[in-house]
Amino acid sequence: MELRDPELSVVLTDDDEIRQLNRQWRGEDHATDVLSFPLYEADELPEDPVALGDIIISLPYAERLVASEEHRHRLAEAAGVDPSELRWTLVDEVSFLFVHGLLHLIGHDHAEPEEEAVMRAEERRVFELMTSALETSTAPSSP
């Protein structure tokens, strides 16, 4: 799917707020890293949507994920590199969680092993594209 500039909202929050949302909307009474609230069901997503939905990210949870290096190791393994070769800050973690949430908004899921494999491959592909674009846009320009 190619998206041409749809709108979405991103909320950075704490564990208490995301726990309340998780309990209210998913029936799970615990904090989580990211929640997505798509405007469309996966099979009803328009070809060129104007808006996609909402992504909620818990910053304290993301900080714990940075410390655990869970996503850093997962991406390093998928890329076939040593985890120490990947820079992994809170910004990287939140960016990764954003990609994960975005994939949910456009219909990806990871409830079944086949779906999870596809979603993880897309996470890696989109995360790499996004971080490459960010590195290019923030690189110092030549005089």
User: Model confidence over 26-56: pLDDT tens digits?
Assistant: 999 999 999 999 998 878 888 878 889 999 9
In angstroms, the Cα distances linking 51 to 8, 21, 45 are 6, 21, 10
Query: Model confidence over 90-141: pLDDT tens digits?
Result: 999 999 999 999 999 988 998 889 998 898 888 888 888 877 765 655 555 5
Domain extents for the chain?
Answer: 7-134
Higher-confidence residue of 2 and 106: namely 106
Task: Give 6 or 25, the one with higher predicted confidence.
Answer: 25
- 10-20 per-position pLDDT tens digit: 999 999 999 99
- Residues 56-88 pLDDT 10s: 999 999 999 999 999 888 888 877 888 888 889
DSSP letter assigned to residue 76: H
Three state DSSP letters for 132-143? HHHHHHHCCCCC
Residue 1 confidence (pLDDT): 55
User: 7-134 maps to which CATH number?
Assistant: 3.40.390.30
Instruction: Say whether pLDDT at 143 is over 70.
Output: no
